[in-house]
Amino acid sequence: MGFIAVIVAAIAGFAVGAAWYMTLSKQWIAAVGIATDENGKPANVGSVTPFIISGIAMLLVAGMMRHILVMGGIEGAGKSALVGLGIGLFMITPWVAMNYGYAGRKRELTILDGGYSILGPTVIGLVLGFF
């Protein structure tokens, strides 16, 4: 049952990311500085590699979060979502902000990616809490 929970949570995290970045695609493309075509779409798309990496990353995050929740005796959707929120807000997002600061990335990119770094683990925790 734990393996199924991890897969479902990873899919949920991936889906939320897809919705997040589809909704904020114009802002994200501008913040990253990706070249676009006349329709405002990224000029050189087509590689599935980012999607494969994202899927693997979601499985790793969901698996580790499940481990943390089980080892901590944390049960229930609300508590699990709160753990996910804490992981995103106090661990992942500060790390993203630090890396982007050193790389000289735009503040807008830190906010956009940081937002998903908070939302994603929260949703993963929520889903894991239902199992």
* pLDDT the model gives residue 47: 85
Per-residue pLDDT at 45 exceeds 90: no
Using pLDDT thresholds of 50, 70 and 90, give the confidence band for residue 123.
very high
Domain limits for position 75: 2-34+49-130
Whether 19 is covered by a domain: the verdict is yes
Flag whether 115 is in a domain: yes
% of the chain residues with pLDDT over 90: 88
Q: In this structure, is residue 20 part of a structural domain?
A: yes
Check pLDDT > 90 for residue 38.
no
Angle between helices 107-130 and 25-32 (to 10 degrees): 130
Q: What's the total number of domains in the chain? A: 1
- Strand-pair partners of 42: 36
pTM for this predicted structure: 0.93
Question: Does a structural domain hold residue 44?
Answer: no
pLDDT at 36: 86
- Quote the pLDDT of residue 43: 79
Question: How large is the C-alpha radius of gyration of the chain?
Answer: 16
Q: Is 41 part of a structural domain of the chain?
A: no
How many CB atoms neighbour CB 119 within 10 A? Answer: 18
